[in-house]
Amino acid sequence: MSRSSPTLRLLAGLAVTLLAVGIYAGYTILQLRSLRELQTQTIDRNRTDTLLLLRIQNGLNSVAVTMRDMLDSPEPYPLSAWYPQFRRLRSDLEDALAREEKVTLAERTPGQRKYLADSFRQFWDALDRTFTGTSEKEARAQIRLSLQARQAALSSAVARLLVQNNESEQEASARTRQLYEGVERNVYVFLAGMLVVIVLTSLYVVNYNRRLFERVDVLSTRRSELARHLISMQENTFRSISRELHDDFGQILTAIGAMLQRADKRPADLLEVRQIVQTTLEKVRTLSHALHPVILDEIGLESAVDLYLAGFRRQHGLDVVYEKTGTARELNREVSIHLYRILQEALNNVARHSGSTRATVRLHFRPNSVVMEVQDEGSGFVRNEQHGLGLVSMRERAELMNGTIEYLEGDTGGALVCVTVPVESTAEVKAHA
């Protein structure tokens, strides 16, 4: 099972994703910019140019109509009477040509531009010569033979330009559709790619978390098993040492004391030896009870706590109050031992670390549980401080009883250790504890 961190892989995936997003965003911006340029520089200019060409074509048609009216009119108007109308049409056409020259497309060749400009200039020159220096008959003949043909050629040239603009607009529309389709296709491809990346990343994270939780579960199981084995070995060792102290050394010291009582030589020395032996015997018994509380098997947890607290008061000089509520019941042997050990550890913490001179021990027998509380009036638990082995051991013992333990702050300050053991679990404590 791999123990490597997924951070580097996830960062690499994030970098690849950001790079893909950046490339896609840049490419999309370029396409949109091309579309905007096509819209503004090609389509809009082409439409404006088309409108101006239509204006020019209408002007040429007006010139043609005016020349026809001038030639076919039944009223004998002199040619000079038509000149102001031609000047107005010329001014309008020249203005349209100047505007069209500014917006004309770059695709139009210089030859096409020069041809259109030269054709109009030649037409106006010929028209000016018609109205100056020629007779009515010659002028009318020149209009029929030359000017009408020139006007028709100009109209054809403008019509070709309109056709060219129409084709250019169709090509621009096709390019616009292609760009839109390309952007739309890229969006779908990008979304599909991001979906694949998200799915793969999610699967990787889920798989890694699953393996991580499996590893944590295995380690937790191993830790619990190790804790049970350690506590079991500790209790067995304590029981063996306690039995040896109580049976062997206790009997030896008792026999020595009895022999000294029967001796009658040097009473003073014998009395001193007897006192030393008696003191040693009491210390051995105290150590034996501390290692393995045999009294739990003999008188039960409630009375064993009474005896332990009496010795604790004498040894540490603390004022310990013992409160019992509820109807006492016989508890499982393993549960009694674990509660007794938790009590010992909690009171030792009070004596060593709290700085308190007073402690309270409460034992509550409830219908569905047994609750034991140990409270002091000292400094309490320090927040964010690493718990020592004693607190860890108490928690492990509580878990072995299927119970809970809480490290709280007392009502009047200090620390409060509260252990709750369900009654239904007391008869069925884990057999491998």
What residues does 12 pair with on adjacent strands? Answer: none
**How much is the pLDDT for 139?**
76
Judge whether 260 and 277 are in contact, CB under 8 Å.
yes
Distance in angstroms (rounded) separating the CA atoms of residues 181 and 340: 80
Checking DSSP bridges between strand 404-409 and strand 415-422, what pairing results, if any?
antiparallel
Distance in angstroms (rounded) separating the CA atoms of residues 350 and 321: 13
Paired tokens of 133:
């220096």
Indicate the residue type of 161. Answer: L
What residues does 413 pair with on adjacent strands? Answer: 411
Q: Which residue has the tokens 């004596």?
A: 351
**Distance (Å) of CA 184 to CA 30, 33, 197:** 14, 15, 20
Indicate the residue type of 226. Answer: L
Distance in angstroms (rounded) separating the CA atoms of residues 353 and 376: 11
Q: What is the CA radius of gyration of the chain?
A: 56
**How much is the pLDDT for 373?**
93
> What backbone torsions phi and psi does residue 230 show, to the nearest 5 degrees?
-65, -45
Judge whether 394 and 366 are in contact, CB under 8 Å.
no
**Tens digit of each residue's pLDDT (9 = 90 or more) over 18-55:** 887 788 777 777 777 777 766 666 677 778 888 888 98
**Tens digit of each residue's pLDDT (9 = 90 or more) over 318-372:** 899 999 988 888 888 888 888 988 998 899 888 888 888 889 999 999 888 999 9
**How much is the pLDDT for 405?**
92
DSSP code string of 379-397? S-PPTTPPP-HHHHHHHHH
By three-state DSSP, how is residue 68 classified? helix
Paired tokens of 279:
């003191």
Judge whether 151 and 67 are in contact, CB under 8 Å.
yes
Neighbours of 373 (CB within 10 A): 19
**Distance (Å) of CA 35 to CA 42, 147, 181, 362, 417:** 10, 45, 12, 83, 74
Alpha helices in 73-109 (DSSP H): 83-103
3-state SS record for 146-173 = HHHHHHHHHHHHHHHHHHHHHHHHHHHH
Distance in angstroms (rounded) separating the CA atoms of residues 40 and 48: 11
**Tens digit of each residue's pLDDT (9 = 90 or more) over 163-185:** 887 887 788 777 777 877 877 78
Tell me which residue of 19, 23, 136, 22 sits closest to 77, measured CA to CA: 136
Tell me which residue of 304, 290, 310, 311 sits closest to 242, measured CA to CA: 290
Domains and CATH numbers, the chain: 7-206 (1.20.120), 295-425 (3.30.565.10)
**How much is the pLDDT for 245?**
63
Distance in angstroms (rounded) separating the CA atoms of residues 349 and 318: 12
Look at 18-22, 131-135, 334-338, 429-433 and tell me which has the smallest mean pLDDT.
429-433
Distance in angstroms (rounded) separating the CA atoms of residues 237 and 229: 12
Distance in angstroms (rounded) separating the CA atoms of residues 127 and 121: 10
What residues does 73 pair with on adjacent strands? Answer: none
Paired tokens of 301:
């947890």
Distance in angstroms (rounded) separating the CA atoms of residues 204 and 191: 20
**How much is the pLDDT for 431?**
40
**How much is the pLDDT for 263?**
63
Judge whether 116 and 157 are in contact, CB under 8 Å.
yes
**Tens digit of each residue's pLDDT (9 = 90 or more) over 184-222:** 787 788 788 778 878 888 888 888 888 888 888 877 777
**How much is the pLDDT for 384?**
46
Q: What is the 8-class DSSP label of residue 332?
A: P
Distance in angstroms (rounded) separating the CA atoms of residues 338 and 394: 8
Tell me which residue of 308, 309, 294 sits closest to 246, measured CA to CA: 294
> What backbone torsions phi and psi does residue 238 show, to the nearest 5 degrees?
-60, -40
